[in-house]
Structure 1
Amino acid sequence: MAPIFFFMVLITIPIQWIFAFNCNSVEYETIMDCDQCIKCGGHWCISPGPNESHCSRLSFGETRCTSYNEKEIFQFFPRQQQDGNKTSIIRPVSFEDSIKVSDGERNKEFSTPSKVNIDVTPIDYLGSTPDVKLVKKKCDKDTCTQKLVVSLDSDFCSDTGGPVQHFVVPLKIDDVIHAKGQYSVPCACQCSRNVSVNDAYCNGRGNLSCGVCKCKEDWRGPRCEQKAPYDEREYVEPDTDGSCPVRGDISCRHEMRPDVDCSGNGRCEDCCICDRTQDGWQYFDGNNYCEDICMTTSEILEKDSNLTSVHLITYDEEVSRRRDSKNRSIWVECEETVNDCKWTYLARKNVRNEIAIMISKKSCPNAEAVVGGGMNVTALVVPLVVAAALAMAGVGYYVWQSKGGAPQLNKANYQGLEGPKTRVETNPVYIEPIKSYKNPTYGQQV
């Protein structure tokens, strides 16, 4: 037997987009996207333990997750590096630090001559402007110790930025940079760069990234195990003027209905012009010979009799009569033969162009049928026939009993029922047969 190999498909995203997200409107425990968690200053755990969440609000260096923590993503800088140039009037000359949008305020102390004015306007940032203040802490005759206070709001991370974004705070005296602070801000996750497409952990219905499944549109749940409910919003037909391009070389016959023009749902000019007066016209496909929704579902059912590619709705007569905002029937009745079974069903589309069907009746050659609501007709008819037979038997018994019924089995009524066993009598009208007879004319000539 040939060996079988399994491959995990990883897609590397060259540019990471951090979509706008309001960090103030959600609880950290409900955030299920690593990038959003980090952007909001949270901590992400790929494999949380019992009673733990993927996202939590923790300071740098803190973790409740043993399998993954932020130290593996972001470099930690010491709060103060070497003083650098000792001749500078500002010490330290430069420093690096990391700050999260949830840190509140981060403080940095440095010393300057006592008689200088310092400007601290940040530069090189992508998102909202960092809030930077300079506070004098104490001064002696020649030197002042000052405190640089930096804080970020939840909009700092840019929608087009990468996992780590930076800004610089220059310390300027007389518009000359004498020192600077460089800050790194985590805004996304390194692990989100790698995506396992249609991963088995997600039941093949979603992409796995940072330990979380991002499910396809029709699926939900931690492992994409739940079918999403059908979107009930009404279908919006394409905005067209009803005209078509001049294409005299195109036939007006659909292969499914080759005996009529435009699937019987329009007229043939230079191309098919769909009839906007028929029921379900909003679903006519003007680019495909006015194909109607029944033709569309017919093609689907032929390939997918298990109905995995459509939404199956329990039949409801009241729902089937609903109309849209333009007073058009939302549901269209169709008939189709699938695997020798005749289906009568209603079909519709929603605003996302998804198809739903409600089966009102299903009949098969073996006399079984399904009616609206999923009732098996054979299972319904057989008990009714048996019940009718029992009822007729009951009526006959009642009439028989009303006429006295059978006589009692006693000696008076049934004396000699079996007849005598030894008595022999002669029938008085019985004539014995002639034992001998002589013809008087025998032997004479006539």
Structure 2
Amino acid sequence: MELRLSVLLSACLLLALVGPAGARKGRCPRKQSCDQCIRAGPECAWCNHPDITGPRCNTEERLVQAGCVRDLYNPRGGLLSVTNESRWEARTRADQAVQATVVRLTLRPGVVQSALLTLPRDRQTTREVTLESSPTPQHLNITFNHTGNPWVIQVNVEATHCPPENGSWAVTITPKGFAQLLELQITSECACQCTQRPPAPSPSCGGRGSLECGRCACDAPYAGGRCQRRRWAPGPTTHRGDGRCRQSPDALEECSGRGTCEEGFCICRERTDPSQRYTGHYCECSNFNCPHADGRMCGGQGRCACGRCVCDEGWTHEACDCSTDAGPCTGPDRNICSNRGTCRCGRCVCEEPFQGVRCENSPFTG
């Protein structure tokens, strides 16, 4: 493959990673595994959190809204390393020493990684340059274009899809007539890290299975979302009236009326809004039923945990609507409320008869 560009000739090449140049957008189907989700498209991410409600495969925005932040997996590919080395290459007439720039990178299908091919300004003649490329695998697209700078060429690399088998591929780009080359060592990112971990008993699965990508893979003969049921156990799998799913002996409903009881474990009901969920052993907690201030839950300065606001740093009170910052109460003399009042929620509450934003006004002065 050849591409002719009118650029300034040079004796050296420099590759600098620019980052993802673009990604296609679409909707994420409901995939059954993390690997299937990642391969569905660059807009799809996977949630490894065991307690998330709703689909695990969704856009990053929707998963964050559903409460999946730290356990979200959304690879974008990227640069691993850049090295320079001298090597002997077979050229037209004889072996020749060349300077090679070797770049190792990973590609998420559908996400373009861009690099800059910089030609230093050590010649003053402008002419046509031919870039030659070695054979490229079918699932890879490599294109070149100008950046507006005559000494810089942008190299764009994209994996159009996941290959049938994982592996790595090398593509060499050579400016024709020069003792140099650029070698791209490319690996497709098509498998989730969580699927490559060895299985181990997890407390989230009752010690009867391993947690794989946020879901329990139960050991035989156990089954269920938390490996709480025995497949071969005689009798019904749902026990009602034994009290194990009631928060207290006088509780009227099992699972707080927010779920179903299976083998003494509460399976909490899902909400229509994926960002809202019930949690707790008896489904007694929620992340959406908390005090509001200024029309926002927890005043917009905290999160709702089991019906109570957990305030961000610098905020307090039930609805996180009270600032602990004393700055607005502090005067130029560094006295809080002019030593004539108390700073409450960022405002001065003045002692009688003093007034003013910082209690600086006195009726006894003119």
TM range (shorter): 0.3 to 0.5
Higher helix share: 1
> Radius of gyration: which is bigger?
1
TM-score by length of 2: 0.38
* Structure with the larger RCO, 1 or 2 (CA within 8 Å, 6+ apart): 2
Higher strand share: 2
TM-score by length of 1: 0.32
